[in-house]
């Protein structure tokens, strides 16, 4: 239920939406992919998916491949046949332009997009960006990137994936009153966390949401962390699989 509710809110949001995904709630495997596919159905232009780490964006790429969705991976690596480098090497100038113009999904780390985004804007019509692991990114890393898009959706969880900084607390504390008034009290706090806290404080329920059904943990393990989520986490109800789905072939076959 919380997946369905928050996907609907993310799609209905005009400018931005913040989605908190506690452990095991399917924030990438289900929520992100559903938001992406539904957005492609509703808009023209491209949907860009960004993440902090290479591992996270490669996980998204695998899910796109499994769903049969073509994409351009903005990377200097040629390991992925959909990477920018691999596509450039496999096309001449004319066919490259024709190929990339029919693509509607761009994936990249935030760092790579910062490097190549201006050039990409000459080819693609940027519309919506979805940022996974957004709670790991500080304000300066994201603000300039988000300015390229009409709408942004940030997915993260400040309770398990906070931004990492090396500065001491004294060096990151904010003293300016105007910044404090918009919730910017410490520069080591991610943009996701600041905006999430702000929307909760202001009661802007249309702009944020939290996934509450988790598929990973036993009840006793879940309760160890539930206080971080105001006791709202619960195990997702799942019917037991019939024996026909547990086994394949004859009775000597391996269990799936």
Average predicted confidence (pLDDT) for the chain: 87
pTM of the model: 0.86
Range with lowest mean pLDDT among 18-22, 48-52, 82-86, 110-114: 82-86
* pLDDT for the residue numbered 236: 86
Range with lowest mean pLDDT among 36-50, 107-121, 132-146, 238-252: 238-252
Residue 155 or 80, more confident: 155
Pairing mode of beta strands 16-20, 105-109: unpaired
Six token digits for residue 69: 């969705």
State the average pLDDT over residues 142-151: 93
Six token digits for residue 208: 């944020």
Tell me the pLDDT band of 239, cut-offs 50, 70 and 90: low
**pLDDT above 90: residue 85:** no
Q: Please calculate the CA angle 58-63-69 and round it to the nearest 5 degrees.
A: 110
Check the CA dihedral 27-48-113-107 and report its sign: positive
**pLDDT above 70: residue 233:** yes
* pLDDT for the residue numbered 84: 86
Helix axes 110-120, 139-146, angle to 10 degrees: 20
Tell me the pLDDT band of 142, cut-offs 50, 70 and 90: very high
State the average pLDDT over residues 38-60: 92
State the average pLDDT over residues 213-237: 91
Altogether, the residues listed in the chain come to a count of 256
* pLDDT for the residue numbered 255: 38
Q: Please calculate the CA angle 55-156-214 and round it to the nearest 5 degrees.
A: 95
Pairing mode of beta strands 16-20, 208-210: parallel
Q: Would you say 159 and 228 are in contact if contact means Cβ atoms under 8 Å apart?
A: yes
Six token digits for residue 115: 């490097």
Tell me the pLDDT band of 183, cut-offs 50, 70 and 90: confident
Residue 19 or 242, more confident: 19
Tell me the pLDDT band of 41, cut-offs 50, 70 and 90: very high
Neighbouring C-beta atoms of residue 182, cutoff 10 Å = 10
Neighbouring C-beta atoms of residue 53, cutoff 10 Å = 15
- % of the chain residues with pLDDT over 70: 92
Q: Per-residue pLDDT tens for 93-104?
A: 788 888 888 899
DSSP assignments along 102-165, one per residue: T--EEEEEHHHHHHHHHHHTTTS-EEEEEEETGGGSBHHHHHHHHTT-SEEEEEE-TTTS----
Q: Per-residue pLDDT tens for 56-84?
A: 999 999 999 999 999 999 987 767 889 98
């Amino acid at each position: 239920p919380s997946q369905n509710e928050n996907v609907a809110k993310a799609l209905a949001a005009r400018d931005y939406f913040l989605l908190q995904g506690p452990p095991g709630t399917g924030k990438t495997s289900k929520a992100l992919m559903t938001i992406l596919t539904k957005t492609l159905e509703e808009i023209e232009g491209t949907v860009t998916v960004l993440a902090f780490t290479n591992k996270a964006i490669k996980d998204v790429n695998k899910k796109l491949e499994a769903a049969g969705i073509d994409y351009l991976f903005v990377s200097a690596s040629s390991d992925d046949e959909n990477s920018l480098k691999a596509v450039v090497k496999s096309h001449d100038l004319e066919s490259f332009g024709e190929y990339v113009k029919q693509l509607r999904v761009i994936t990249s780390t935030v760092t790579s997009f910062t490097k190549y985004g201006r050039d990409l804007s000459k080819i693609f019509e940027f519309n919506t960006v979805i940022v996974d692991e957004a709670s790991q990114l500080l304000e300066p890393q994201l603000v300039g990137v988000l300015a390229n898009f009409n709408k942004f959706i940030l997915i993260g969880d400040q309770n398990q994936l906070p931004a990492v900084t090396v500065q001491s607390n004294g060096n990151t504390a904010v003293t300016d009153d105007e910044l404090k008034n918009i919730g910017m009290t410490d520069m080591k706090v991610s943009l996701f966390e600041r905006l999430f806290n702000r929307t909760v404080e202001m009661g802007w329920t249309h702009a944020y949401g939290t996934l509450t059904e988790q598929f990973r943990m036993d009840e006793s393990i879940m309760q160890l962390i539930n206080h971080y989520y105001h006791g709202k986490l619960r195990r997702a109800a799942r019917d037991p699989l019939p024996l026909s789905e547990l086994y394949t072939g004859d009775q000597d076959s391996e269990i799936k």
